[in-house]
Amino acid sequence: MSDRLSLRVVRREPLAGRIVALTLASADGNALPPFEAGAHIDVLTPSGHTRQYSLCNAPDTATQVYRIAVQEEAESRGGSRAMCRDVREGDLLEVGAPRNLFPLAPGTRRAILLAGGIGITPLLAMAHALHQAGIDFVLHHACRSRPAGAFVEELLAASFAERVRLHFDDEGPALDLAGVLADPCDGDHLYVCGPSGFIQWALDTARQLHWPDGQVHREFFAPAEPAVVAADGAFEVELAVSGKVLQVPADRSIASVLLAHGVPLAMSCEQGVCGTCVTTLLAGEADHRDSYLTDADRERGDTILPCCSRARSARLVLDL
């Protein structure tokens, strides 16, 4: 985690279901590094895991607080459970400075924000930013039920409430995605965040309706597929800078082999979601296991995420 900040939890709000919102402020009262809509912070959780959480408050150049929302995952490996159950007001948390891998595209004339469940968090910050900038947008928030929906009351009371459309699985109206995404124009941009199935549905629908790839933006919260497959094979990794060749056994990731040999590699999520470890691939064919690279990235074949991806060829040559 780079540019670490030690932040105090100044507010803890149970939001809905298993979701808790945490407001973080500088322990010494100073302003925080500014952020743009779509940005996230890495948080060192009490369980020792580093997790990424989108900032959901309105971006502001004089940022005093970061607000995040955490959903306790049923399959939690410890990170979200510790954040929801163990963190109290007054606690200090180590966090990284904001990074934005899901920015609003310059030239957005109309934005469609599609949130599935807890995926609302970056889109909430985007809604604030678009509203402040006077840019046309609609925010669709799809939730299992009203009691399980994060930020429902807040959205209904927001200054942009007339742009919010809520969809509850158990009461309707159902989200008519084909209707929402019909007839894309130049300057229209789609931003989608939520569970992998929801995102895939949105991406598939957008493709069928002829949305250009460059106008579709998404952020995964969890890997779209299991990052490790039982039948993995061994392969070699060549480091172009030093010429070293390392063996990657079937039961190890490229990243773990690199780190074991002292090759520095920035990592955060370690599950192919955040993009921190993206590395230039000079030769060889990757077996992409991440949820971060786009189809266009994969077709170009010049990048790989060593925390989870593997090789289809006997050797990969990395620009390391």
How many Å apart are CA 105 and CA 214, to the nearest integer? 9
**β-sheet bridge partners, residue 8:** 25, 92
Q: Is residue 93 near ligand FES by the rule CB under 6 A?
A: no
Q: Is residue 273 near ligand FES by the rule CB under 6 A?
A: yes
Q: Could you tell me the smallest distance in angstroms from the CB atom of residue 247 to ligand FES? A: 21
How many Å apart are CA 251 and CA 262, to the nearest integer? 19
How many Å apart are CA 119 and CA 129, to the nearest integer? 17
How many Å apart are CA 309 and CA 88, to the nearest integer? 36
- Kindly report the CA angle at 228 between 41 and 74, in degrees rounded to 5? 55
Q: Which stretch binds ligand FES (CB under 6 A): 126-134, 236-244, 266-274, 280-288?
A: 266-274
Per CB under 6 A, the list member of 158, 263, 269, 311 interacting with ligand FES is 269
The radius of gyration of the chain's CA atoms, rounded to the nearest angstrom, is: 20
Q: Which of residues 223-242 bind ligand FES (CB under 6 A)?
A: none
Per CB under 6 A, the list member of 268, 279, 286, 310 interacting with ligand FES is 268
Q: Is residue 164 near ligand FES by the rule CB under 6 A?
A: no
Q: Which stretch binds ligand FES (CB under 6 A): 41-49, 189-197, 274-282, 312-320?
A: 274-282
Q: Is residue 277 near ligand FES by the rule CB under 6 A?
A: yes
Beta-carbon-side half-sphere exposure of residue 186 (alpha carbons within 13 Å): 0
Q: Is residue 274 near ligand FES by the rule CB under 6 A?
A: yes
149's CB contacts (< 8 A; 6+ apart) are 16, 117, 141, 143, 166, 168
* Residue 116 one-letter amino acid: G
Q: Is residue 292 near ligand FES by the rule CB under 6 A?
A: yes
Per CB under 6 A, the list member of 164, 307, 316, 318 interacting with ligand FES is 307
- Return the closest-CA partner of residue 197 out of 171, 177, 213: 177
By three-state DSSP, how is residue 267 classified?
Answer: coil
* Residue 27 one-letter amino acid: A
Residue 263 or 277 having the CB closest to ligand FES: 277
Q: Could you tell me the smallest distance in angstroms from the CB atom of residue 266 to ligand FES? A: 8
Structure tokens belonging to residue 301: 């074949």
Per CB under 6 A, the list member of 305, 311, 316, 320 interacting with ligand FES is 305
Residue 35 or 292 having the CB closest to ligand FES: 292
Taking residues 1 to 40 in sequence order and writing x for each that binds ligand FES by CB under 6 A, - otherwise, the string is ----------------------------------------
Q: Could you tell me the smallest distance in angstroms from the CB atom of residue 114 to ligand FES? A: 22
Per CB under 6 A, the list member of 26, 121, 276, 303 interacting with ligand FES is 276
**Which DSSP helix (H) or strand (E) runs through 194?**
strand 188-194
How many Å apart are CA 178 and CA 319, to the nearest integer? 42
By CB under 6 A, name the binding residues for ligand FES: 267-270, 272-277, 290, 292, 305, 307
